[in-house]
Structure 1
Amino acid sequence: MTEPQVSPLEPMPDDWRRALAVVAHPDDLEYGCSAAIAAWTDGGREVTYVLATRGEAGIDTLDPARCGPLREQEQQASAAVVGVSTVEFLNHQDGVIEYGVPLRRDIAAAIRRHRPELVITLNHRDTWGGVAWNTPDHVAVGRATLDAAGDAGNRWIFPELAAQGLQPWNGVRWVAVAGSSTPTHAVDATPGLERAIHSLLEHRTYIEVLTDEDPETYVRTFLTGTAQSLSPRFDGKPAVAFELFAR
């Protein structure tokens, strides 16, 4: 039998200067695409992180009042490893984020505030492909980010934002979805992979309750394996993949 053909991944666009990454939790970007972010910041591009929650419900053995500030600190340190200095939190409640107008408004405000050309988010579909079920927070934030990219440019949607000094921004050219089971584009992971490993390791409190493995072994195996699995579709190079929606 002939092997099924897999479509090649196209290189991500590189004619942009500012990106905004919007995800639900601390560590979402580190599991998904921080090797690409490291390469982008190395090239002089500006990347800002916006997180809907502080991940306060993510560790069973830690009360949310203690867990949230700890995970916020780990996220700040993690972002710094890959050249990101601005990390904002929208203060939605971890685990019960609701897709809807308030979430769209908060993300549209962030887009107007930072005026990116590229917006990055995480898989907004029900599964990771097959029967691996996604979490409601990822679905809500990913879907709201795709919608907010349009909301941010429409002066008649959320006019109260303009009254707060956040004028419409219709400059988003693409929304890139990490963790998609149907990616279309990719970035060479090689230049940023080592920093991506160290970036994810900053989430040590979370990782140590997630696995009994040595944290560095776990992180290195996971990120290297994911990047290498995409190499047949990206000219033999380990990659970070995205599903790219042009606007």
Structure 2
Amino acid sequence: MAGQLAPMPEDWQRALAVVAHPDDLEYGCAAAVAHWTDGGREVAYVLATRGEAGIDSLEPAISGPLREAEQRASAEVAGVGSVEFLDHRDGVIEYGPALRRDIAAAIRRHRPHLVITLNHRDTWGGTYRNTPDHVAVGRAALDAAADAGNRWIFPELGAEGLVPWGGVRWVAVFGSDRPTHAVDAGPGLERGIRSLLAHRTYVEALTEEDPEQYCRNLLTDGVQQAADRFGGRPAVTFELFPC
């Protein structure tokens, strides 16, 4: 059995979650977010796209606004009031200075101590291919955590009134196959399930199963997989990078 997972640090007040699409955070991470917001911490969401290319049966012009609305409702369930969209194009997000700049700007705006992002590696556990959008945004978020504190990288942000922020202490990668830390999923699990269910249009396009049962089974099974490495408790896992 792999080694035990350490509890996530708790000596922080503000977090910023940066992902590619609506629903990316809801496949487990939102249970941790709900637990944190219940404890008085502030969490904001930044999404690179509106997920407009994610539902084959819906034109992007229809899908994008619908998925944005569902993401805002989902975030509210988890206690998150700030949701921003960077308006990169779904499916073809490019890693590079433009993406890093947009994320660094968001970090300067929100001034988080913790940045959260999704798996930045090419595969899920060495088996299934990860999407280029997830890889690009995950890599850019890791880089932007440092970029945000350097006034000579993207100096135009300073001219826009966004002063450097070097207060990011960790980047936590959700969905990593190399987790180091975990959060007890129990307190936030029911809200995590409801936050995923808020993406009803997307969920119904994924499965013929009852949407509520699909969300419950998926998240319950997912957090249980880490229990043997976290004192028998169902857990949301992260790979934690100190900054």
TM-score (norm 2): 0.99
For residues 111-190 of structure 1, what are the structure 2 equivalents within 5 Å? 111-190=107-186
Provide the residue aligned with 2:9 in structure 1: 13
Once residues 221 and 28 of structure 2 are traced to their aligned partners in structure 1, the CA distance between those partners, rounded to angstroms, is: 12
Cα RMSD (Å) of the superposition?
0.4
Matched with 1:58 is 54
Structure 1 residue 130 displacement after superposition: 2.1
Does the residue aligned with 1:182 lie in a helix, a strand or coil? coil
Partner of 1:44: 40
Task: Determine if contact 2:46/2:85 at 8 Å carries over to the other structure.
Answer: yes
Instruction: Name segments (4+ residues, structure 1) moved above 2 Å.
Output: none
Q: Secondary structure at the match of 2:128?
A: coil
Unaligned runs of 5+ in 2: none
Match 2:235 to one of 231, 236, 239: 239
From 191, 211, 219, the equivalent of 1:195 is 191
Aligned residue-pair number: 243
**1:229 and 2:237 are equivalent in the alignment:** no
State the secondary structure of the residue aligned to 2:10: coil
CA distance in 2, matches of 1:140, 1:32: 20
Deviations, residues 22-46 of structure 1 (Å, cap 9, x unaligned)? 0000000001300000000000000
The superposition leaves residues 110-159 of structure 1 with CA deviations (integer Å, 9 ceiling, x where unpaired) of 00000000000000000011221000000000000000000000010000
Matched position secondary structure for 1:119: strand
Letter in 2 for 1:173: R
The residue identity in structure 1 corresponding to 2:131 is T
- Deviation digits for residues 140-181 of structure 1, max 9, x if unmatched? 000000000000000100000000000000000000000000
Residue 187 of structure 1 and its aligned partner are, at CA, apart by 0.1
Report the Cα distance in structure 2 between the residues aligned to 1:134 and 1:140, rounded to whole angstroms.
Answer: 10
Instruction: Give SS of 2:123's match.
Output: coil
What is the letter of the counterpart of residue 138 of structure 2? G
Q: SS of the residue aligned with 1:245? A: strand
Q: How much has 1:9 moved relative to structure 2? A: 0.5
Aligned to 1:92: 88
Per the alignment, residue 214 of structure 1 pairs with 210
Deviation at 1:210, TM superposition (A): 0.2
SS in 2 for 1:14: coil
